[in-house]
Amino acid sequence: MSPLVVQKFGGSSVAGADRIRRVARRIARERARGSDLVVVVSAMGDTTDELLALATAITEDPAPRELDMLLATGEHQSATLVSMALHALGVPAIALTGAQAGITTDGRYGRARIAGIEPVRVHEELAAGKVVIVAGFQGRSESSGDRHEVTTLGRGGSDTTAVALAARLHADRCQIFTDVRGIYTADPRLVPKARQLDVVGYEEMLELAHQGAQVMQVRAVELGWVNGVVIEVLSSFEDAPGTLIKEDPFVEQRNKVRGLAHDRNVAKVTLVEVPDRPGVARAVFDPLAEDGINVDMIVQNVGHRGATDLSFTVPRVDLARTKRILEPVIRELGFRELTTDSSVAKVSIVGAGIQNAPGYAARMFGALADAGVNIEMISTSEIRITTIIAEDDLEVAVQALHRAFELELPEAEVTEAEAEVTEAAVDAGDPATGVRAPRGGGATPTGTA
Amino acid sequence: MSPLVVQKFGGSSVAGADRIRRVARRIARERARGSDLVVVVSAMGDTTDELLALATAITEDPAPRELDMLLATGEHQSATLVSMALHALGVPAIALTGAQAGITTDGRYGRARIAGIEPVRVHEELAAGKVVIVAGFQGRSESSGDRHEVTTLGRGGSDTTAVALAARLHADRCQIFTDVRGIYTADPRLVPKARQLDVVGYEEMLELAHQGAQVMQVRAVELGWVNGVVIEVLSSFEDAPGTLIKEDPFVEQRNKVRGLAHDRNVAKVTLVEVPDRPGVARAVFDPLAEDGINVDMIVQNVGHRGATDLSFTVPRVDLARTKRILEPVIRELGFRELTTDSSVAKVSIVGAGIQNAPGYAARMFGALADAGVNIEMISTSEIRITTIIAEDDLEVAVQALHRAFELELPEAEVTEAEAEVTEAAVDAGDPATGVRAPRGGGATPTGTA
């Protein structure tokens, strides 16, 4: 039997006719090697952003159902175009929507989770000798009966589509083609000396992705971890080895800080003078959770005179919705005011070794201080330390941290310097008491531990 | 019970956020009058052309199934955006794809015909108090069982969607909003003196549309005629009375030439030295018909020395496909060669009175000759005379004909001059023996006769 390969091409890989033809040639080469192929595509280039901009030009608060129907068209378009480009090369191919590929979801617009995949049609088309192109990022809602509503999986959801299909189809390989050559120690656009990693553990990749590394979506990594799908991240523009995401038995021997992540899609919300009594936090976060807003870092200062300040971060795009949801809560609970700041950014250091050695926090904060960067919020997990800083400081901060943790050096060379730091580390205590990322903080420290 | 109004907004009416908001305000006004509303939308502005250009940049000959899936996204986008714009005005609304609206087709990609409409969901959403926005131009193939393939109705298919829905829902009104104020005696972009008509008969509108008037699609008019749907064509940019398309009992009292139509989407194909024997025409046109290519005018000259030249026109976009289909036929039948010319255009005069009075052909040809325009092919139907000319001559030709038939004058004033022409008409015989438009020529001359 032919090996089955799932390939995923991101938006920049299919931006325009020339790139789509190049993607088709790459698919055709893999096919010429005898593989059966399922190819997942994202929307072309900036299509999703353009559609979002169009929607928000019409209304600040687009209805989630209509927004999903709108955004899903981006992947329909790229899927059909890749299929056409394969036809032009004489390769039989067919484009399928998420629904046609049998992908059903839990029906939550804008952030649907895959409920199941019944790949009847995918198998049929593969059996008919076709390359199957699947529109990523989407599925049909399961609960809607005959209504067949389009739901999207959230930003970067095409990765999830690819890994889920690879798991369901028991694919031999799962390749994520992107505009970079693999996973780097930091974003090469900010840090020219950033270095490509050969292997990264699932958990480390999870933290990197969750903290803003754009290469892979968090859920796709989780899904790969749970299903043991080895994921290869590689460039769609050059023939070069990529980075493998998998269980990493050698993690203890590696540089303790594996990489940096940053995220500009962050807004800070502060509730000023919150009444300091039980149940207040629930009154604030329950309605946000119900509306599916992904609250990230939460900080509550020690109260004084019966009131306290409560800060947290949300994705910048959800800020307007967050404010709207909290307005009645504010009135009800009697806060003084709600302030917001959308000119912040998140910077994290990530490494499976962080949990075993103190001193990383102190070294991180020191490097930022030396670079003149003020820290606004701090959060930690077992293998990660995250700070919120002013967005204007982002580039300086990332470069300073990359130098401080010697990430530009090959891993073998860094061991000694690293060991030295570990031994010399100042036990500064846990600088972030009470601060836990609700998601990263809950990650099970198995596998890479 | 509230009156039910079907409104259709064309591509230029929904081109961009501002225009979409304007469309939403217009819909909201109609709703404030107490109407139930079903709104059909085309793709925004040039979206369909841009998608087509993208497809043809990838392959000269896109697979019809993938092309339909691609093009249908344009209407999904505009439908969702109009729905969002209504939400922003506080008007409950929901966007439905053609499939969700219950529209099924015969499954012919790129030129599907509506097989049926089961508007269960449309009724549900109307009953729930919502304005129902339907993506025009598309439906789900009926024959494909579980496969739910997207099929499009061909260019301008949103008109057909609107009229079909108006018929199926027994709508009280069917309004086609467009970028012009109604039906004109000629394209105002070519003829500044072109005059708007208050009423036009179904059959006249059919000929005008079939011969290239872009305002309404042929099939939409046919469908309106068969189902007795009175169609109002009006401007989405101003509040002004439009043109009613309906049975016109007063047709005999009107100007015999109702209007001019032109079409640039024409290519001429000539088969040189075709063997002059029975079955040849069938061998040529059967495979084109099977592939759904809409052959329009056909001219065969008198044969000499056992061979003849056979010319016909096809839509310019189908020219490449036509050549490909005819290549094996040419080899088989032994033509000398196949030549093509895609720099031609079609100009027609249309009027229900033409059938009852001779002399129109002579007057038309004379006006073109005076303007220095050479006629390459001629075709007639009961109420129409069509010529093929060089595309470069188009503007001159249309303006000359508009003057010659005094179309800029109000209808009452023209009666005498018109009567004079009719009486003084030279009986030039039928100048186009054997030349019949396969479609227009077959139109039943009832209703407006």
Residue B240 lies in a domain: no
Please name the member of A21, A51, A83 whose beta carbon is closest to the beta carbon of B77.
A51
Looking at residues A144-169, what average pLDDT do you find?
88
Q: Dmax over Cα atoms in chain A, in whole Å?
A: 75
B87 min Cα distance to partner chain A (Å): 8
Tokens (6 digits) for A227: 């299903």
A283 min Cα distance to partner chain B (Å): 28
| Together in a domain, B160 and B296 | no
Outline where B89-156 has alpha helix (H): 120-127
pLDDT tops 60 at residue A424: no
Instruction: Determine, for residues A81 and B20 on separate chains, whether the beta-carbon distance falls below 8 Å.
Output: no
The answer to whether A367 touches A404, Cβ cutoff 8 Å, is yes
| Together in a domain, B119 and B17 | yes
How far out from the chain centre does Cα B185 lie? 16
Q: Note every long-range contact of A121-130, with CB atoms under 8 Å and residues 24 or more positions apart, other chains counting.
A: A121/A96, A121/B147, A122/A38, A122/A96, A122/A165, A122/A169, A125/A94, A125/A96, A126/A4, A126/A36, A126/A38, A128/A92, A129/A92, A130/A92, A130/A93, A130/A94
End position of a domain, from candidates B319, B340, B361: B340
Instruction: Give me chain B's average pLDDT, please.
Output: 85
Handedness of CA A334, A292, A344, A374 (dihedral sign): positive
| Together in a domain, B319 and B415 | no
Q: Which residues of A touch B110 (CB under 8 A)?
A: none
The answer to whether B262 touches B345, Cβ cutoff 8 Å, is yes
pLDDT tops 80 at residue A429: no
Domain CATH code at residue B320: 3.30.70.260
Looking at residues B328-336, what average pLDDT do you find?
82
DSSP annotation string for B284-335: HHHHHHHTT-----EEEPPPBTTEEEEEEEE-GGGHHHHHHHHHHHHHHHT-
End position of a domain, from candidates A323, A341, A359: A341
Angle CA A99–A10–A77, to nearest 5: 50
Taking Cα atoms as reference points, which of B188, B141, B136, B195 lies closest to residue B13? B136
Angle CA B111–B113–B117, to nearest 5: 140
Q: What is the pTM of this model?
A: 0.74
Pick from A61, A84, A131, A152 the residue to mutate for testing the B interface (most B CBs within 10 Å).
A84
| Together in a domain, B294 and B401 | no
Tokens (6 digits) for B53: 């250009």
| Together in a domain, B122 and B158 | yes
Angle CA B116–B122–B127, to nearest 5: 145
Please name the member of B17, B60, B66 whose beta carbon is closest to the beta carbon of A95.
B66
Tokens (6 digits) for A92: 């039989």
pLDDT tops 70 at residue B400: yes
Q: Specify which of A14-23, A349-358, B196-205, B294-303 reaches the highest per-range mean pLDDT.
A: A14-23
Distance CA B65, CA B144 (A): 12
- Return the pLDDT at A146: 60
Distance CA B449, CA B443 (A): 11
Looking at residues B434-448, what average pLDDT do you find?
29
Instruction: Determine, for residues B84 and A94 on separate chains, whether the beta-carbon distance falls below 8 Å.
Output: no
Q: Where are the beta strands (DSSP E) in B225-297?
A: 231-235, 243-245, 259-263, 267-275
Instruction: Determine, for residues B76 and A69 on separate chains, whether the beta-carbon distance falls below 8 Å.
Output: yes
Q: Which residues of A touch B69 (CB under 8 A)?
A: 76, 79-80, 95, 97
- Return the pLDDT at B417: 41
Distance CA B38, CA B6 (A): 5
Pick from A44, A70, A132 the residue to mutate for testing the B interface (most B CBs within 10 Å).
A70
Q: Which residues of B touch A57 (CB under 8 A)?
A: 17
Handedness of CA A284, A289, A293, A295 (dihedral sign): positive
Residue A383 lies in a domain: no
Residue B219 lies in a domain: no
- List B150's β-bridge partners, or say none: B140
Outline where A256-312 has alpha helix (H): 280-290
Instruction: Determine, for residues A97 and B69 on separate chains, whether the beta-carbon distance falls below 8 Å.
Output: yes
Residue B411 lies in a domain: yes
Any idea how long chain A is? 449
Distance CA B350, CA B204 (A): 6
Tens of pLDDT along A32-61? 999 999 999 999 999 999 999 999 999 999
* Residue of A72 and A425 predicted with greater confidence: A72
- Return the pLDDT at A164: 97
* Residue of A359 and A253 predicted with greater confidence: A359
Please name the member of A55, A77, A97 whose beta carbon is closest to the beta carbon of B81.
A55
Amino acid at position B286, single letter = D
Confidence of residue A359 (pLDDT cuts 50, 70, 90): confident
Residue A390 lies in a domain: no
- Return the pLDDT at B334: 76
Tokens (6 digits) for B160: 């057909």
Taking Cα atoms as reference points, which of A1, A72, A42, A60 lies closest to residue A162? A42
Residue B42 Rama label (left phi>0; alpha psi -120 to 50; beta): beta
Distance CA B445, CA B139 (A): 31
- Return the pLDDT at B296: 86
Q: Which residues of B touch A (CB under 8 A)?
A: 17, 20-21, 51, 54-55, 57-63, 65-67, 69-70, 72-73, 76-77, 79-81, 83-85, 87-88, 94-95, 97, 99-100, 121, 147-148
Q: Which residues of B touch A121 (CB under 8 A)?
A: 147
Instruction: Give me chain A's average pLDDT, please.
Output: 85
Kindly report which listed range (A348-357, A396-405, B86-95) carries the lowest average pLDDT score.
Answer: A348-357
DSSP annotation string for A135-158: E-SEEEESTTGGG--EEE--TTHH
Cβ of B276: how many Cβ atoms within 10 Å? 15
Instruction: Determine, for residues A69 and B97 on separate chains, whether the beta-carbon distance falls below 8 Å.
Output: yes
Residue B232 lies in a domain: no
Looking at residues B135-148, what average pLDDT do you find?
81
A65 min Cα distance to partner chain B (Å): 9
Confidence of residue A251 (pLDDT cuts 50, 70, 90): low
- List A105's β-bridge partners, or say none: A114, A141
* Residue of A382 and A198 predicted with greater confidence: A198
- Return the pLDDT at B292: 84
- Return the pLDDT at A428: 32
Please name the member of A20, A57, A84 whose beta carbon is closest to the beta carbon of B62.
A84
Instruction: Determine, for residues B73 and A77 on separate chains, whether the beta-carbon distance falls below 8 Å.
Output: yes
| Together in a domain, B83 and B154 | yes
State which residues form the domain around B293. Answer: 267-340
- Return the pLDDT at B438: 31
Domain CATH code at residue B368: 3.30.2130.10
- Return the pLDDT at A439: 32
Confidence of residue B210 (pLDDT cuts 50, 70, 90): confident
Tens of pLDDT along A216-231? 888 899 899 999 999 9
Environment class of A305 (CB within 10 Å of its CB; exposed 0-12, middle 13-18, buried 19+): exposed
Confidence of residue A410 (pLDDT cuts 50, 70, 90): confident
Tell me how many domains chain B contains.
3
End position of a domain, from candidates B179, B205, B227: B179
Instruction: Determine, for residues A67 and B80 on separate chains, whether the beta-carbon distance falls below 8 Å.
Output: yes
| Together in a domain, B396 and B313 | no
pLDDT tops 50 at residue B391: yes
- Return the pLDDT at A29: 96
pLDDT tops 70 at residue B251: no
Distance CA B255, CA B275 (A): 45
Percentage with pLDDT > 70 across chain A: 87
Environment class of B333 (CB within 10 Å of its CB; exposed 0-12, middle 13-18, buried 19+): middle
Kindly report which listed range (B18-27, B59-68, B153-162) carries the lowest average pLDDT score.
Answer: B153-162
Coil, helix or strand for B269?
strand
The answer to whether A14 touches A39, Cβ cutoff 8 Å, is no
| Together in a domain, B112 and B135 | yes
How far out from the chain centre does Cα B307 lie? 36
Q: Which residues of A touch B (CB under 8 A)?
A: 17, 20-21, 51, 54-55, 57-63, 65-67, 69-70, 72-73, 76-77, 79-81, 83-85, 87-88, 94-95, 97, 99-100, 121, 147-148
Taking Cα atoms as reference points, which of A160, A208, A192, A161 lies closest to residue A381? A208
Confidence of residue A411 (pLDDT cuts 50, 70, 90): low
- Return the pLDDT at B31: 96
Sheet with strand A267-275: strands edge to edge:
A298-300, A307-314, A267-275, A337-341
Nearest CA in chain A to B101: A147
Looking at residues B411-419, what average pLDDT do you find?
45
* Residue of B410 and B302 predicted with greater confidence: B410
| Together in a domain, B350 and B335 | no
Q: Which residues of B touch A98 (CB under 8 A)?
A: none
Cβ of A53: how many Cβ atoms within 10 Å? 12
Instruction: Determine, for residues B63 and A84 on separate chains, whether the beta-carbon distance falls below 8 Å.
Output: yes
Q: Radius of gyration over alpha carbons of chain A, in Å?
A: 23
The answer to whether A223 touches A423, Cβ cutoff 8 Å, is no
Looking at residues A127-152, what average pLDDT do you find?
88
The answer to whether B109 touches B151, Cβ cutoff 8 Å, is yes
Confidence of residue A412 (pLDDT cuts 50, 70, 90): low
The answer to whether B377 touches B270, Cβ cutoff 8 Å, is no
Instruction: Determine, for residues B58 and A94 on separate chains, whether the beta-carbon distance falls below 8 Å.
Output: no
- List A96's β-bridge partners, or say none: A134
pLDDT tops 70 at residue B222: yes
DSSP annotation string for B337-362: EEEEE-SEEEEEEE-GGGGG-S-HHH
pLDDT tops 60 at residue B443: no
Percentage with pLDDT > 90 across chain B: 59
Distance CA A223, CA A229 (A): 8
pLDDT tops 80 at residue A272: yes
Amino acid at position A97, single letter = T
| Together in a domain, A281 and A170 | no
Looking at residues A67-91, what average pLDDT do you find?
98
B280 min Cα distance to partner chain A (Å): 32
| Chain A / chain B CB contacts < 8 angstroms | 107
Instruction: Determine, for residues A80 and B59 on separate chains, whether the beta-carbon distance falls below 8 Å.
Output: no
Looking at residues A70-92, what average pLDDT do you find?
98
| Together in a domain, A173 and A278 | no
Please name the member of A69, A77, A80 whose beta carbon is closest to the beta carbon of B95.
A69
Q: Which residues of A touch B55 (CB under 8 A)?
A: 80-81, 84
Tens of pLDDT along B223-240? 999 999 999 999 988 889
Instruction: Determine, for residues A87 and B62 on separate chains, whether the beta-carbon distance falls below 8 Å.
Output: yes
Taking Cα atoms as reference points, which of B32, B422, B395, B442 lies closest to residue B254? B422
The answer to whether A219 touches A162, Cβ cutoff 8 Å, is no
Nearest CA in chain B to A61: B88
| Together in a domain, B11 and B143 | yes
Please name the member of A76, A85, A148 whose beta carbon is closest to the beta carbon of B73.
A76
Looking at residues A261-276, what average pLDDT do you find?
88
Residue A293 lies in a domain: yes
- Return the pLDDT at B217: 80
Tokens (6 digits) for B439: 């479609």
pLDDT tops 90 at residue B146: no
Kindly report which listed range (A100-104, A118-122, B373-377, B394-398) carries the lowest average pLDDT score.
Answer: B373-377
Please name the member of A57, A70, A95 whose beta carbon is closest to the beta carbon of B80.
A70
- Return the pLDDT at A425: 31
Please name the member of A21, A59, A79 whose beta carbon is closest to the beta carbon of B58.
A21
Domain CATH code at residue B19: 3.40.1160.10
Tens of pLDDT along A17-37? 999 999 999 999 999 999 999
The answer to whether A85 touches A94, Cβ cutoff 8 Å, is no
Sheet with strand A259-263: strands edge to edge:
A259-263, A344-350, A384-390, A377-381
Residue A368 lies in a domain: no
Kindly report which listed range (A80-84, A191-195, B333-337) carries the lowest average pLDDT score.
Answer: B333-337
Looking at residues A413-425, what average pLDDT do you find?
37
Taking Cα atoms as reference points, which of A241, A265, A236 lies closest to residue A10? A236
